[in-house]
Amino acid sequence: MKNKPESPHCSTCGSRHKSVFCSIESEEVKEIDNIKGCNFFDRGQVIFHEGNRVNGIYCINKGKVKIYQTGSEGKEQIIRFAKEGDIIGYRALLSEEPLSASAATLDDAVVCFIPKSQVLKIIQNNPSFNFKMLKILSHELGEAARIITDLAQKPVRERLAESLLLLKDTFELDEDKNIQVKLSREELANIIGTATESVIRLLSEFKKDKLIDIDGRNIKLINIPALTREANIID
């Protein structure tokens, strides 16, 4: 968590316009810029830790982040991901509860911090921002419900296929159809709630069936329609 001098400015932040902050006034942007903190993280570092209190929200300027809970046996459960332009930590802030999950970087990342007072001020003064927060939260809640049903009802094979597609939607594919995020086999297992070995076996089956290609942590989606069928998605 090294504090470098060249903190990014909100006014020049490339991810601002596709984020929840896209509709705030330039006056408010200036205010945030003055009050916000900014931190540089190496890959794998923890941004905040489950159980702690938050005093603001974190805005990801650069990098990819996993949000995860620790189960009763100490096993990590990945709840969701966040990337450039996303905010994290707002759930605990708004519910005034301790953090229900931890956040850690998946690559080198730059994360800004906006204190609670400022966030509440914007919520109160900017109906559009306010409504966006309501929208984000209720959208997340819908996603969570879908995950619950899948975990409860789908076999591991389907869950893995679905997770690969979800990762594709979140982080997109590069020109070679590789999912643009590098996760360990264990992290993949911690998304779908299974053992690392099961992920390994199923990935190589998917490869054998020409649904994907694997090169280390690079996963290439070569037959998305078939993968979708494998995932048994209703929508």
Contacts 24+ apart (CB under 8 A), 121-127: 122/24, 122/28, 122/32, 125/28, 126/23, 126/24, 126/25, 126/28
Query: Residues 77-106 vs a second copy: string with x where CB under 8 A?
Result: x-x----------xxxxxxxx--xx-----
Our CB check for DNA shows the closer of 19 and 163 to be: 163
Using CB under 8 A as the binding rule, the residues of this chain from 2 to 61 that contact a second copy are none
Helix (H) or strand (E) holding 230: helix 224-231
Q: How far apart are CA 213 and CA 3, in angstroms?
A: 39
CB of 194 to DNA, least distance (A): 4
Our CB check for a second copy shows the closer of 97 and 176 to be: 97
List 179, 192, 219, 221, residue binding a second copy (CB under 8 A): 192
> What is the residue-wise DSSP string for 113-127?
EEEHHHHHHHHHH-H
Query: Residues 63-82 vs a second copy: string with x where CB under 8 A?
Result: ------x-xxx-x-x-x---
Q: How far apart are CA 98 and CA 117, in angstroms?
A: 17
Residue 225 makes contact with a second copy by CB under 8 A:
no
List 9, 146, 177, 182, residue binding a second copy (CB under 8 A): 146
Size (the chain), residues: 235
Residue 193 makes contact with a second copy by CB under 8 A:
yes
